[in-house]
Structure 1
Amino acid sequence: MAVDNATVVYFSEQVVILISCGLSFLGSLLIICTYILWPDLRSTPRKLLVFLSVSDFLSASSYAYGVWMVFKSDSVDCVVQGAISTFANTCSFFWTVAIAIYLYIFLVKSNRRLADSWVLYFHVVSWGIPLGITIAAVALGRIGYDASEVSVGWCWVRIQATDHVLWILLTGKIWEFLAYLILPILYILIKKHIHRAHAALSEYRPILARNPQSQSPSSMADLKLTFIPIIFISLRIWSTIRFLLMLVNSPVRQNPVLVTLHGIGNTFQGAANCIMFVLFTQPIRSRLMTLLCFCCHPSRDTAGDGHAPSQRGQGAETPFLAEDTP
C-alpha cells in the first residue's frame, strides 16, 4: 500500500481529538486520585478500575502526542509513541475484560475468594501479553509510520510492512474483537443473575430502598451493567470499521467524519469510565463536591471531615455497579 495515499488529518480533527485525549487524561487521573484519597473506597473492583485507568492514562497521553505531531514518516519518537500506545491500548482491552470476569465470578458464582484469587492472573495476562507483543513488534521493526490508515495521526503498525495486517491484529484488533464478544455475554449473564436473585442479594436492597424509582429493573446497577459494553463498543467500533474498510481498500476509510469518530473513540475511554464510575456514583460525587467546597471555603472543614466516615466500609464489600459502591 502506497504511503502517498495517506489519510489527511485536518486541524479541526486534531483539535477535537486532542480535547478527547485531555478529557480522558483528566478522567483517568480523577479515578486514580479518588482511589488514593479515600481508603474506604478501595474495593477490589475499583482497584481493577485503577489499573484500567493507568492504561487509559498512558494511552491518552501517547495518542495526544501522536495527534499533535501528525507523523509523516518513521522516526524515533514515532516508534516510541507507537510502542507506548500499542502497549497501553492492548492493556486497556485486557483490563476491561478482566473487570467483567471478576464481576461475573463475584456476583454470578457468588465466590469472592475465587474472584480475588484471579487478580494475580489478571496482572500477568493484562500486563504480560501486551508487553510481550509490543516488544516483539518493536524488535521486528513493525511499529512505525502507518499513514493514518488505522490511526489518526499517531504511529502504530508500519503500513509498508508486508505483514502489516497480521500485526494490526496481534497488536490490537484481535483483542478488540474478543472484547466485543466477551463483554456483552458476561454482562448479560450478570444482569440475568441479578434479575433472578434480586430479592436475595442483600447488597442491592439499600439501593432499591433509597430510590423509589429504582424498584424497576432500571436501577443504577442495572443501567451500568447495560452501559459498560455498549459504551465500549460504541467507542471502539469506528476503528474497527476503518480497519475493515482498509482491508477492502475502500476510500470511505478517509472520510473526515469517520476519521474524527475513530479518533474520539480510541481516546475517550478514560473519560467515559470517569463519567460512569465517578461522576455517576453518588457517594464519590458527593465527596468531590464536599472537597471542592472545602477548597473554595477552607473555613468549612467540618463538612469534609464528617462525610467520609459515614460511608466507610461500604465500597470495600461490593462491586462498583451500584450507586453507593465503591
Structure 2
Amino acid sequence: MAEGNQTVVYLSEQVVVLCSCALSFVGSSLIILTYIMWSDLRTTPRRLLVYLSVADWLSAVSYAFGVWRVFRSDSQGCVAQGAISTFANTSSFFWTVAIAVYLYVFIVRSSQRVADSLVLLFHLVSWGVPLAITVAAVSLNKIGYDASEVSVGWCWVRIHAPDRVLWMLLTGKIWEFLAYLTLPVLYILIKRHIHIAHAALSEYRPILANRPPSHSFSSMADMKLTLIPVIFIVLRIWSTVRFILLLAGSPARLNPVLVTLHGIGNTSQGAANCIMFVLLTRPIRTRLCAALCCCSKYRAGEQPSHGAPQRLLPGQDTSTQREEDSTSRVRTDR
C-alpha cells in the first residue's frame, strides 16, 4: 500500500470516509438546530453537547476536505486543514470528558451549583488548550503532510519532523489515551450511584403510588450511560492501533481495512451523538417527526386550519388531540 514515502488512499476508502463525514456533519448540525429551535431543551448538559457538536462539525468538515484532496505535500491548504482538524479533534476530546465530569458532579455529588460553576472552566480548557497546542504546532512548522501514516488522506503532524511522535501525542494521542481512562470510570460511578438510588427508592414505591412505575425512560438513560464510553472507545480505538503500529514500525498500519476503520471512527462522533441524544430521545424525536410532517404538508399544498395545533405533545396521538381540542387549546410546547 505504500509507494516510496507516500501511502496510497484508495478510492473506496475515500468514498466511505466522505460518507462518514457527511453523516457526522448532518448529525452535529441536527443537535445544534434542535437546541436553537426549542428553548425548553436548553439545559446545561445539552448546551455542553452543543459545544461538543460544534467541535465535531468542524472536525467533519476539515476531515472531509482532507480526504477529498488527499494532500501530497506541505501546501498551505494542507497546513490549514491539518491545523483546523487538530484543534477540532482535540477540542472534541476535552468536551467529551467535560460532559462526563459535569454529569458526575451533578448526579453523584448532587451539586448543581458546583457543576454549573465548572462550565467556564470547561470553556477555558476545551477551547484554550487545543488552540494553544495548535498555534504552537503551526508556529514550529510541525503541522503538514504526514503521508497518511496515521491518517486517511488528511494532514496532521509532518512526516519528516524529527520529534513527530512527541507532537502526535501533544496534538491528540495523549488526550485520547486520557479519555479512554477517564470516561469509563466516570460513567461507571454515575451508573452505580443511580442504581443504588433506584434500589433505595424501590422499597417505598408500593406506598407512593398505586400504578406500576414506567421504566422506559430510566432504562434508556441507563443504556446511554453505558453506550457513551463504549461508542467513544470503539470509534477511536482504530487510530490508536495505527499509532501503536507506527511506533512499532509495523507495516500492518497500512492495511486497507484498518485504514478504513480509522477513517470511519475519526469522523463518526457527530453522527453517533446525534443517534444517542436526538434519535433515541423520545421527546426530541417526536418533535422532529411532527416538524417533518408539517413540512411535507406545506410542500403538498395542504395549509393547516387557523385553529389547528401545529405540534403534538410527546406521546400524544391524534385521537387524544381531537378530544382535547373540543374543550381547550393544546399547548404547542412543553
Please indicate, yes or no, whether the TM-score normalized by the shorter chain is above 0.5.
yes
Output aligned runs, 1:53-72, within 5 Å.
53-72=53-72
Output aligned runs, 1:164-179, within 5 Å.
164-179=164-179
Root-mean-square deviation over aligned CA pairs = 2.1
For residue 184 of structure 1, report the CA deviation from its aligned partner: 0.1
- Aligned residues of 1:3 and 1:159 also touching (Cα < 8 A): no
Q: What is the aligned counterpart of 1:304 among 293, 305, 310? A: 310
Counterpart-to-counterpart distance in 2, 1:222 and 1:184: 14
For residue 198 of structure 1, report the CA deviation from its aligned partner: 1.6
Q: Percent of aligned pairs with the same residue?
A: 70
- Aligned residues of 2:290 and 2:311 also touching (Cα < 8 A): no
1:44-77, Cα deviation, whole Å (9 max, x unpaired) = 0000000000000000000000000001111000
Report the AA paired with residue 307 of structure 1: L
**Runs of 5+ in structure 1 lacking a partner?**
313-326
**DSSP-derived class of the 1:197 partner:** helix
Partner of 1:115: 115
Output aligned runs, 1:116-131, within 5 Å.
116-131=116-131
1:194-251, Cα deviation, whole Å (9 max, x unpaired) = 000125689xx99x9345xx49xx8101100000000000000000000000001101
Output aligned runs, 1:217-236, within 5 Å.
219-236=219-236
Counterpart-to-counterpart distance in 2, 1:220 and 1:311: 23
Partner of 1:81: 81
Q: Alpha carbons of 1:22 and 1:100: their partners in 2 closer, same or farther (altered >3 Å)?
A: same
Q: Alpha carbons of 1:291 and 1:141: their partners in 2 closer, same or farther (altered >3 Å)?
A: same
| TM-score, length-scaled by structure 2 | 0.87
For residue 305 of structure 1, report the CA deviation from its aligned partner: 4.0
Report the AA paired with residue 107 of structure 1: I
Farther-moved stretch of structure 1 (296-305 vs 153-162): 296-305
Compare relative contact order (CA 8 Å, sep 6+) and give the higher one, 1 or 2: 1
Partner of 1:209: 213
Counterpart-to-counterpart distance in 2, 1:43 and 1:306: 22
Report the AA paired with residue 99 of structure 1: I
1:80-127, Cα deviation, whole Å (9 max, x unpaired) = 000000000000000000000000000000100110000000000000
Partner of 2:197: 197
Output aligned runs, 1:226-305, within 5 Å.
226-298=226-298, 299-300=303-304, 302-305=308-311
Counterpart-to-counterpart distance in 1, 2:175 and 2:63: 19
For residue 276 of structure 1, report the CA deviation from its aligned partner: 0.3
**DSSP-derived class of the 1:194 partner:** helix
**Runs of 5+ in structure 2 lacking a partner?**
203-207, 315-330
**DSSP-derived class of the 2:93 partner:** helix
Counterpart-to-counterpart distance in 1, 2:62 and 2:56: 10
Counterpart-to-counterpart distance in 1, 2:104 and 2:123: 18
Partner of 2:318: none
Partner of 2:30: 30
Counterpart-to-counterpart distance in 1, 2:8 and 2:178: 30
For residue 8 of structure 1, report the CA deviation from its aligned partner: 1.2
Partner of 1:156: 156
- Aligned residues of 2:311 and 2:332 also touching (Cα < 8 A): no
- Aligned residues of 1:58 and 1:85 also touching (Cα < 8 A): yes
**Looking at CA atoms only, which structure, 1 or 2, has the larger radius of gyration?**
2
| TM-score, length-scaled by structure 1 | 0.89
Report the AA paired with residue 192 of structure 1: R
- Aligned residues of 1:28 and 1:56 also touching (Cα < 8 A): yes
Counterpart-to-counterpart distance in 1, 2:158 and 2:3: 10
Is residue 108 of structure 2 the alignment partner of residue 102 of structure 1? no
Partner of 2:6: 6
- Aligned residues of 1:287 and 1:304 also touching (Cα < 8 A): no
Counterpart-to-counterpart distance in 1, 2:235 and 2:269: 7
Counterpart-to-counterpart distance in 2, 1:240 and 1:23: 22
- Aligned residues of 1:279 and 1:285 also touching (Cα < 8 A): yes
- Aligned residues of 2:287 and 2:311 also touching (Cα < 8 A): no
